[in-house]
């Protein structure tokens, strides 16, 4: 197995879950992640030397999703799916409530808690400060605590995390 295949197989599911949690529909997430890995493959000689190739792929995948939203906004003359999946997502409560969060909060939750990136890596990937990452995570946790059924996340409280 070559090193791209190894890189792909070891990270594709984690990247897919993070992009899926960050927002949008399943097909769109699959397409974005596949596109991101295709771009990584097309310039693998460069990407493999990147300090964090997985973060590179995540960034590309999220950007591909945003590009789709921007294109939809122009074509449909409506708002992008800022709160896209609420009401459409057939899965459980956590998934539905996560999808109802603002985009930035979803992305921070996805990158920090699903992709397991550090605060610093998340900040760099999203182009925001570390303090803002913590703020978004804090707000996301607060919102989820209020929205989810009390018996499922009773007493959920935020903590400040450091990379």
- Binding residues (CB under 8 A) for another protein: these are 4-5, 8-9, 12-13, 15-17, 20-21, 26, 30, 33-43, 46-47, 51, 56, 59-60, 63-64, 74, 91-92, 94-95, 98, 109, 113-114, 118, 120-121, 123-124, 127-130, 132, 137, 141, 144, 153-159, 161, 163
Of 83 and 132, which has the nearer Cβ to another protein?
132
Q: Under 8 Å CB-to-CB from 21, ≥6 apart: which residues? A: 98, 106, 109, 110, 114
Q: How far is the CB of 107 from another protein (least distance, A)?
A: 13
Taking the least distance from each CB to another protein, the nearer of 86 and 153 is 153
Cβ-based neighbour number of residue 120 at 10 Å = 12
- Smallest distance from another protein to CB 153, Å: 6
CB-nearer residue toward another protein: 6 or 82: 6
Q: What letter would DSSP give residue 112?
A: I
**C-beta separation of 62 from 22 below 8 A:** yes
Nearer to another protein, 30 or 82 (CB): 30
Determine the Cα–Cα distance for residues 108 and 158; give it in Å rounded to an integer.
14
- Cβ atoms within 10 Å, residue 74: 10
Of 19 and 81, the one with the shorter C-beta distance to another protein is: 19
Q: To which H or E segment does residue 75 belong?
A: helix 53-76
Report the distance separating Cα 125 and Cα 95, nearest Å: 23
In the complex, least distance from residue 81 CB atom to another protein, rounded to whole angstroms? 19
Nearest-approach distance from CB 84 to another protein, in angstroms = 16
Query: Cβ of residue 88: shortest distance to another protein, in angstroms?
Result: 16
């Amino acid at each position: 197995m070559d090193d791209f295949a190894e890189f792909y197989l070891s990270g594709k599911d984690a990247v897919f879950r993070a992009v899926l949690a960050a927002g949008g529909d399943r097909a769109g997430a699959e397409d974005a992640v596949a596109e991101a890995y295709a771009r990584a493959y097309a310039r693998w000689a460069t990407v493999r030397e990147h300090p964090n190739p997985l973060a590179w792929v995540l960034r590309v995948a999220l950007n591909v999703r945003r590009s789709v939203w921007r294109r939809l906004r122009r074509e449909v003359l409506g708002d992008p799916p800022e709160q896209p999946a609420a009401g459409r997502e057939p899965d459980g409560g956590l998934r539905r409530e996560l999808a109802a969060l603002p985009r930035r909060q979803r992305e921070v939750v996805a990158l920090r808690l699903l992709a397991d990136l550090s605060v610093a890596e998340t900040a760099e990937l999203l182009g925001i400060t570390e303090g803002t990452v913590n703020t978004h995570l804090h707000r996301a946790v607060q919102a989820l605590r209020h929205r989810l059924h009390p018996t499922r996340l009773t007493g959920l409280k935020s903590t400040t995390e450091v990379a």
